[in-house]
Copies of this chain bind each other. A is one copy, B any other.
Amino acid sequence: LLKNSETASSQYGVNIFIVGLFLMFAVYLKIMGLTESDRLMFLVILMLIQVVWMIFYICVSDRKKWAPTEKDGHAGARWLRCGIVLFAITTLVMHALKLGYFVGYSECIPIIEGIYPVTHIVHTFFQVYFLWCHSKDVIKSFKTLERFGLIHSVFTNLLLWASAVATESDHQLEEHMERLKSLGFTNLTLTYPTDIAHLECNCSTNLCKDFKKGIYYIYPFYIEYQILASAMLYVLWKNIGNKTSHLHHKNKLNFDGVYVGCFLGLIVMAATIGIVAIYLLNIGRSKTNSEAALSIYYFYSITVLGLMSIGSLLGLVIYKTEKTSVFKEKSPAVKLDAELLVGSSIGSWIISWGSILAIIFAEHHPTYTWYNLPYSILVIVEKYIQNLFIIAYINHTPQNNLKASHIEIPIETGQVSVPAESTDFTTSKGIEVQQQASMQNQQSKKDKTHRPPADRKNNNRKLVLKNLTVLLFLCNLSLWIPPAFGCRPQYDNGLEATVFGIMPWIVLIDVALPFSIFYRMHSTYSLFDVFCKI
């Protein structure tokens, strides 16, 4: 029955998603006489259903507080929950701005554009409360209802994400058309109908333009919020009825000796902010300015990506030489992390392969387009190696952590947990493993009282790894900034658009780039996780 409701709910979710996407495209392509209001109405209904379900869930779980609830230690880590609160705050600000915009134009835009931000604010409040308190839950009762509620929430958030991405792309497109003109690609520019419907009205508060500008600066954060929320809800859904009690890691953050990594990383970050400023100031001004901006951006990216590739490779080499026992994590949270990393890399791989093929087959090659080739190759290589590095370490628990965690478990769930690898025991092996486990228990108790002096070589290795991880963490955070805030050379250089045609290339970028941006954000999270585990 368990398996059954899993399939039933996922099928329900997929269908909701299909309908939502259809409505979105229909409005976007202006077909079927559908208006923006219909689409917003659909989203409002979805959000309200989710809110009702969350209230129900919170009430039920508050009632049976006396009962011991199982928790998945991997899901909903504290920094992840803090992250979602921060992003949620920007979301609230954005919808407050939208509400302000609506108030200004309230006479000429439909009432639903006011209802939508209000509902979204309520929805955000409940969702953040829900994720803060319950993101570690392993649900055992009302399974079918919870499954449907959670999958409904997952796909509602995904639809909100898709809608945000579409709005953001539309807005970016207008800017890029201006930029392409400066490089001489007049034949490429599309005349885009900017929505002038509201211009007939007068804004009653005189702040509407500022509100609109403000909204677009917050979009990158809003997009991250939606995707993070759906990932956390998905983990909750996957955890329903899970029987394996996972090992619980409680590693303290220790920033000793990571000065080199921090220093290098902060330099990269400062450089990034500088480059983004230079890029945005120069691009679209004149042909020389645009070309200079593109060249500088490529040089900078090649340097950073090269540094990151070498760093990840070094980390992988250290991993291969290490001889600690690796054990397979079974929590859906860890598995999802790895899948999201590889899955979201596909976005930028598609763009990069497109660029590579475009450079090879283009007829004209202005000088700055040649820098695109090493850049695109490095994007592919860097993600390839970095994924290997991250996945190697998030699947990995060093020996001493393993021992420590073995003591914690009995206290928490009243069960002795055995390393996941030993689940495929044979008759005789099974008993052996249990003996080992109990011996380890005793031994690790001894360890706590007088620990042997730490191995110097091992410590050095750890220090190198920590520095590498911090460096990669800051580099990934840096590389998130340019595309999220409008530095998108894939649009601006005009090369790929000439080869593939402007519309196919824009559609491709619009679909793939959000994943690429999400990748940078998600890899920072994963690297933080790696840092905690080293």
Contacts and interface: CB of A to CB of B under 8 A. Distances in A.
Interface of A: 1, 3-4, 7-8, 10-11, 14-15, 18-19, 22-23, 25-26, 29, 31-34, 243-245, 316, 319-320, 326, 328, 338, 342, 345-346, 349-350, 353-354, 357-358, 361-362, 380, 384, 387-388, 391-392, 395, 415-416, 423-427, 430-431, 434, 437-438, 499-501, 504
A415 B423 contact: no
A525 to B, nearest CB: 17
Contacts of A437: 427
A346 B22 CA distance: 13
A22 B357 contact: yes
B423 A423 contact: yes
B423 A346 contact: no
Contacts of A354: 22
A434 B428 CA distance: 9
Nearest to A431: B431
Nearest to A319: B4
A441 to B, nearest CB: 10
A329 to B, nearest CB: 9
A331 to B, nearest CB: 13
- Interface on chain A toward B: helix, strand, loop, or mixed SS? helix
Given A11-B345, A15-B353, A350-B18, A32 B358 contact: yes
8 contacts: A4-B388, A11-B387, A11-B388, A25-B504, A26-B361, A31-B501, A415-B426, A431-B434
A319 B26 CA distance: 41
Contact of A388 (B7, B244, B358, B395): B7
Contact of A416 (B3, B320, B342, B427): B427
Contacts of A245: 424
A31 B338 contact: no
Contacts of A415: 426
Of A243, A328, A438, A504, most buried by chain B (CB within 10 Å of CB) is A243
Nearest to A361: B32
Contacts of A425: 430
B392 A19 contact: no
A11 B387 CA distance: 9
Contact of A499 (B18, B32, B346, B424): B32
Contacts of A244: 423-424
Given A7-B391, A19-B353, A320 B1 contact: yes
Contacts of A33: 361
Given A4-B391, A7-B391, A34-B361, A349 B15 contact: yes
A338 B7 contact: yes
Contacts of A350: 18
A34 to B, nearest CB: 7
A66 B29 CA distance: 64
A386 to B, nearest CB: 11
Contacts of A430: 425, 430-431, 434
Most buried by B among A4, A338, A501: A4
